[in-house]
């Protein structure tokens, strides 16, 4: 009996399993390689098991049977690493596994063209050396990558989806602003992670672009990026950022100033259908009006990292928006049959938005993570508008309004992540509490006080079945507000589903989600603002939150020198908050109401060609928009065909780029917005530490315009805005950076929140 027990114990010990762990890092700066593949093979070159490294470059192979193995680590753009593990019989920590870049190992040979890895929830795009050398900041690098379904304005340095939606920007998982992306040095970018189906983990945004960059070990860096108009000196973007690291502490200071001072022309055409008559007005510009604004962003950041266990991050930010001369300003003559009146419309706005962000991250055992974020924000707004319409010999119509607004908000968020059943599970909660007091003076004298709250929870799971990647999420959201004696609340169910499948060079993706939209604070206001002698704008405190459903299907083909993709998106809004126009007491009232529904269909294609390896790349994207707006008293439809194109040529330190896009239209309610059509040419030289670029905007036309068209039956109108300043406009960009010290690894910050809704109701046209 004793002999049998001993034999069973010996056999059990022989069959016992062990674990292998380690961290995969870059050989130069020891920065972690996120998503590196770690594979364990037996003596017959058969794979026993495999994993990918986490956000800290760590990996762990669990339940490994005793024996001898070959460990292999690989990462795109790096030389593979192989290690023999003989007679493994206990838990083994391999420490740091350093991978060398392919260019270092192969001497003069470098990776040709960017490389793309399709993960469960995102694409990993490794920029080529040529793309990095041709770029001056993170925005221009993204433009050279030519990622499908992204639209980048080289002049404004803005990043949106091709559908016009906002893109959430991140650096190493930290949600950041456009100013932070401009401050990125392209040579520090390891890869760009592109989430086209972000899901509830990222708040249901349209897309996420996450830059994975190297960090300093010690010392720091100072970067300067300056853009100014040559033919238009009143246009400029200037940014200075500095980073410094000492021990476990890191400091960041950033300042960005965007300045615009140009001449603008606005002309209006409108018809008012009164019960007993019809009035047709045509405004013709008499002299260009001035457009001037200054946006100043400052940020101070302190971060303390306790190795890989935890992180504390404190950010103090302030955004100043000073607009002394608005885009809606105009000086014109109004023609009405045989009457002529002089119109002057001027609006100025000043807003300050200081905020304090306290963030904490805890890295627990077994690749579990906890993230906490608390943001307090103050929004102070001062707005003033004067309007006059004067006919010779008649008493002028004059309108004056002044608004002082104060808003305080607190946003708290917590997220928990962990591996589960071969995939990854995440759950979290977010709450936004705000109070607002707006004082309206002038023609409308009133005070609006409002309290709002929004709470959301979610749970999401990502995994794969063979070649099918999937993400399933479920969430709920509660919205509420109180204004005076009125209050309301509403609950939403928020399911999401993302699917992607890749078979060789062919792939398809599908995502669907349902959620809700709460009314904006300005739309909920019970304020009435005069617009002109014929119409007023009025808020609606009875607005209810709306529900929307959206889904998108994409299919494509990706090869080394060519890729193609065709996508279609359909979305439906139920009881959307859209405009409503009616006649009351001699005036036409522009207000908002919950309408019947809104349908949106967007189809777009993308073809990318690389005919001369990494030296020349071409991106062509035709699109088609179809809108159906179903109001309580109206039905409107609109279609819009368009095209976007981008050509990038790179050779050594030189860059030549041409970019163009036609006007993108969008119908919402009864208004059709017609965006700008623009083309630009960029020629640049990048020496690494410094770079110079010259840009010309709209070189082949003297017609720059954008406008809106309201198609209501009672008071339709057309508004056209155009400027000679924005054609054949030359700009110069200069950037340089100064490094000191070595690099220090920092932990990742994952979430960040910001409040920018002032809740001011404007009467401008």
- Return the pLDDT at 100: 76
Assigned domain for 202 exists: no
Distance between CA atoms of residues 320 and 299, nearest Å: 12
Q: How far is CA 285 from CA 268, 325, 355, 677, in A?
A: 9, 16, 41, 22
Name residue, tokens 């095209």: 643
Would you say the pTM of this structure is higher than 0.85? no
Assigned domain for 36 exists: yes
The domain of 56 spans 2-104
Assigned domain for 276 exists: no
**Helix (H), strand (E) at residue 10:** helix 2-15
Our measurement of the distance from residue 149's CA atom to the centroid of its chain's CA atoms, rounded to an integer in Å, reads: 12
Assigned domain for 164 exists: no
- Return the pLDDT at 356: 94
3-state secondary structure 477-539: EEEEEEECCEEEEEEEECCEEEEEEEECCEEEEEEEEEEEECCCHHHHCCCEEECCCCEEEEC
Assigned domain for 93 exists: yes
CA-based nearest residue to 250, from 173, 305, 179, 196: 305
Q: How many domains does the chain have?
A: 1
- Return the pLDDT at 308: 67
User: Are 413 and 428 spatial neighbours (Cβ–Cβ below 8 Å)?
Assistant: yes
Contacts of 629 (CB under 8 A, 6+ apart): 578, 595, 598, 635, 636, 637, 667, 668, 669, 670
Assigned domain for 32 exists: yes
Assigned domain for 334 exists: no
- Identify the CATH number of the domain in which residue 46 sits: 2.60.40.10
> Mean pLDDT per segment of 10 residues, for the chain of length 765 residues?
46 61 75 80 81 82 85 78 81 84 37 56 78 82 82 79 81 80 82 82 82 75 90 91 84 92 90 92 88 94 80 90 91 88 92 93 84 92 91 82 91 90 88 88 78 91 84 90 79 89 84 86 81 88 90 87 90 95 92 95 92 84 96 95 91 88 93 91 87 91 90 93 89 87 46 52 57
Instruction: Give me the residues paired with residue 539 across strands.
Output: none
Assigned domain for 92 exists: yes
- Return the pLDDT at 200: 78
């Amino acid at each position: 009996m004793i002999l049998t027990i001993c034999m069973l114990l010996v056999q059990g010990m022989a069959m016992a399993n062990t674990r292998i762990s380690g961290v995969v890092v870059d050989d130069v700066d020891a920065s972690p390689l996120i998503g590196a593949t770690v594979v364990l093979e037996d003596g017959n070159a058969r794979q026993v098991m495999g994993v990918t490294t986490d956000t800290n470059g760590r990996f762990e192979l669990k339940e490994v049977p005793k024996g001898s193995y070959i460990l292999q680590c690989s990462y795109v753009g790096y030389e593979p690493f192989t290690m023999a593990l003989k007679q493994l019989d206990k838990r083994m920590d391999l420490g740091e596994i350093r991978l060398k870049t392919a260019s270092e190992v192969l001497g003069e040979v470098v990776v040709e063209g960017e490389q793309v890895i399709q993960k469960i929830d995102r694409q990993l795009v490794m920029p080529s050396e040529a793309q990095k050398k041709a770029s001056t900041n993170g925005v221009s690098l993204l433009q050279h990558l030519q990622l499908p379904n992204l639209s980048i304005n080289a002049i404004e340095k803005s990043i949106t989806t091709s559908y016009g939606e906002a893109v959430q920007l991140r650096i190493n998982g930290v949600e950041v602003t456009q100013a932070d992306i401009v401050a990125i040095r392209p040579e520090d970018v390891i890869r760009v992670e592109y989430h086209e189906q972000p899901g509830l983990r990222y708040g249901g945004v349209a897309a996420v672009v996450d830059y994975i960059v190297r960090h300093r070990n010690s010392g720091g860096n100072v970067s300067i990026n300056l853009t100014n108009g040559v033919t238009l000196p009143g246009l400029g973007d200037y940014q200075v950022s500095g980073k410094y690291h000492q021990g476990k502490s890191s400091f960041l200071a950033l300042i960005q100033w965007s300045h615009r001072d140009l001449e603008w022309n606005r002309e209006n055409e409108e018809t008012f259908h009164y019960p007993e008559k019809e009035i047709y007005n045509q405004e013709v510009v008499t002299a260009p009006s001035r457009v001037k604004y200054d946006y100043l962003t400052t940020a101070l950041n302190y971060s303390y990292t306790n190795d890989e266990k935890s992180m504390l991050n404190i950010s103090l930010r302030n955004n100043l928006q000073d607009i002394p001369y608005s885009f809606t300003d105009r000086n014109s003559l109004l023609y009405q049959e045989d009457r002529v009146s002089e119109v002057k419309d001027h609006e100025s706005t000043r807003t300050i938005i200081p905020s304090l962000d306290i963030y904490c991250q805890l890295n627990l055992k077994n690749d579990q993570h906890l993230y906490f974020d608390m943001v307090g924000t103050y929004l102070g707004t001062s707005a003033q508008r004067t309007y006059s319409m004067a006919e010779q010999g008649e008493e002028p119509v004059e309108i004056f309004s002044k608004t002082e607004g104060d808003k305080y908000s607190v946003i708290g968020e917590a997220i928990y992540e962990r591996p589960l059943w071969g995939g990854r599970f995440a759950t979290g909660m977010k709450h936004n509490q705000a109070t607002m007091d707006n004082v309206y003076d002038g023609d409308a004298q009133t005070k609006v006080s409002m309290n709002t709250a929004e709470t959301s929870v979610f749970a999401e799971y990502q995994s794969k079945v063979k070649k099918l990647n999937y993400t399933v999420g479920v969430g709920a959201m509660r919205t509420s507000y109180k204004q005076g004696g009125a209050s309301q609340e509403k609950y939403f169910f928020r399911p999401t589903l993302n699917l992607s499948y890749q078979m060789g060079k062919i792939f398809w993706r599908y995502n669907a989600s349902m959620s809700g939209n709460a009314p904006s604070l300005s739309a909920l206001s019970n304020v009435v603002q005069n617009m002109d002698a014929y119409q007023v704008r009025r808020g609606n405190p009875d607005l209810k939150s709306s529900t929307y459903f959206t889904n998108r299907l994409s299919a494509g083909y990706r090869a080394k020198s060519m890729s193609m993709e065709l996508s279609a998106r359909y979305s439906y809004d139920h009881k959307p908050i859209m405009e409503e126009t009616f006649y009351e007491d001699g005036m036409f009232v522009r207000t908002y109401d919950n309408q019947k529904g809104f349908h949106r269909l967007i189809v777009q294609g993308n073809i990318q060609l690389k005919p001369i390896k990494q030296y020349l790349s071409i991106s062509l994207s035709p699109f088609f928009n179809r809108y159906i707006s179903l109001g309580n008293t109206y039905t409107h439809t609109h279609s819009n065909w368009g095209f976007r194109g981008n050509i990038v040529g790179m050779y050594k330190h030189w860059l030549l780029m041409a970019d163009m896009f036609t006007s993108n239209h969008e119908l919402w309610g009864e208004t059709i917005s017609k965006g700008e059509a623009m083309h630009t040419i960029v020629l640049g030289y990048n020496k690494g530490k410094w770079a110079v670029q010259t840009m010309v905007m709209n070189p082949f036309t003297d017609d720059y315009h954008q406008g809106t068209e309201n198609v209501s039956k009672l008071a339709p109108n057309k508004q056209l805005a155009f400027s000679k300043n924005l054609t054949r406009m030359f700009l110069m960009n200069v950037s340089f950076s100064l490094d000191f010290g070595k690099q220090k690894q920092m932990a990742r910050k994952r979430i960040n929140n910001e409040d920018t809704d002032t809740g001011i109701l404007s009467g401008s046209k």
